[in-house]
């Protein structure tokens, strides 16, 4: 497909072939929207955002190389200033991609979820609804994040114990189960599952699976107690 071309719909707007913008789309300056991108009603795309950018893989990358489908933004989604949403990414209804964040190809961000400023969501990540990813986080390729998870600032998720010295294959990504909470600066190691409603303390290095409702702290992380009934999501929401 051809490169985006200048459009008079907004200052500095570059628009690709086949992109239809609903009348209520809010556009900042110098936005780039690549060919085929699907934009829902009521979306906000702020200054300098790029939507539908084709991925550019390194010569030795193990990520799937086939061309992804167009990007899509659900109704009421927002892509904030300087953020980049690659082709094949799906941003759910009323979700927010924060300033200077990146969502890579084939990643899916659920409805009403928030990706914080400067955070990176790698390729083929699945993020459920109402997830909160704070600033400067790295959500590694292949990760599954279920509904209502909280990921504190500066959290790093990893998917390869060998750091590239293995035969090509799918990433050994973590899984964050429903309503678990990950404290700021924590590191979740490859293949680790953090159970539903579990709590990972700030700065912990999690090398083994965390049981549902467990509280873990330290390096390496260890279980110190169970999350109390008063702190469960349903109780906190008043359900």
Pairing of strands 14-15, 5-6: antiparallel
CATH of residue 237: 2.160.10.10
The predicted model gives 7-32 an average pLDDT of 95
Same domain for 90 and 186, yes or no, is no
Q: Could you tell me the residue range of the domain that residue 170 belongs to? A: 131-239
pLDDT confidence of residue 162: 86
In a domain, 196, yes or no: yes
Per-residue pLDDT at 3: 86
Same domain, 92 and 1: yes
Q: Is residue 116 part of a domain?
A: no
Q: Give the number of domains in the chain.
A: 2
* 153 and 235 share one domain: yes
Same domain? For 95 and 180 the reply is: no
pLDDT digits (tens, 9 = 90+) for 139-181: 999 999 999 999 999 999 999 988 888 777 788 999 999 999 9
One domain, residues 76 and 156: no
Confidence of residue 113 (pLDDT cuts 50, 70, 90): very high
Q: Which of 76, 111, 146 is the last residue of a domain?
A: 111
pTM of the model: 0.94
Asked if 74 and 145 sit in the same domain, the reply is no
According to the model, what pLDDT value does residue 169 have?
75
**Whether 4 contacts 25, CB under 8 Å:** no
Amino acid 57: pLDDT: 82
Residue 222 lies in a domain: yes
Residues 27 and 98 in one domain: yes
What is the predicted pLDDT for the residue at 1?
59
Contact 108, 129 (CB under 8 A): no
107 & 152 share domain: no
Mean pLDDT along residues 89-104:
98
Q: What is the pLDDT of residues 38-87, one digit of tens each?
A: 999 999 999 999 999 999 888 877 777 788 899 999 999 999 999 999 99
Q: Indicate whether 183 belongs to any domain.
A: yes
**Number of residues in the chain:** 239
In a domain, 126, yes or no: no
In a domain, 81, yes or no: yes
Judge if 97 and 175 occupy the same domain. no
- 139 plus 56 within the same structural domain: no
Same domain, 107 and 135: no
56, 85, 111, 123, 169 from 61: Cα distances, Å: 10, 19, 30, 12, 11
Q: How far is CA 28 from CA 18, 25, 102, 192, in A?
A: 20, 10, 18, 40
Judgement on whether residues 95 and 13 belong to the same structural domain of the protein = yes
In a domain, 122, yes or no: no
Is 187 part of a structural domain of the chain? yes
């Amino acid at each position: 497909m051809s490169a985006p071309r200048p459009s008079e719909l907004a200052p500095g707007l570059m628009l690709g072939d086949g992109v239809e913008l609903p009348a209520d789309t809010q556009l900042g300056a110098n936005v780039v929207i690549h060919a085929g991108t699907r934009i829902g009603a009521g979306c906000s795309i702020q200054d300098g955002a790029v939507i539908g950018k084709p991925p550019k893989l390194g010569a030795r990358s193990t990520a799937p190389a086939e061309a992804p489908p167009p990007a899509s933004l659900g109704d009421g989604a927002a892509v904030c200033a300087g953020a980049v949403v690659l082709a094949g990414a799906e941003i759910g209804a009323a979700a927010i991609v924060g300033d200077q964040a990146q969502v890579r190809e084939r990643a899916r961000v659920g409805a009403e979820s928030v990706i914080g400023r400067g955070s990176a969501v790698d390729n083929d990540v699945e993020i459920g609804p109402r997830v909160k990813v704070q600033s400067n986080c790295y959500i590694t390729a292949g990760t599954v994040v279920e509904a209502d998870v909280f990921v504190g600032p500066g959290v790093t998720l990893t998917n390869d114990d060998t750091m590239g010295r293995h035969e090509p294959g799918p990433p050994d990504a973590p899984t964050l189960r429903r309503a678990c909470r990950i404290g700021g600066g924590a590191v979740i190691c490859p293949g680790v599952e953090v159970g539903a409603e579990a709590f990972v303390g700030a700065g912990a290095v999690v090398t083994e699976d965390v049981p549902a409702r467990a509280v873990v702290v330290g390096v390496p992380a260890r279980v110190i107690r169970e999350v109390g009934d008063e702190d469960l999501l349903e109780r906190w929401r008043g359900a």
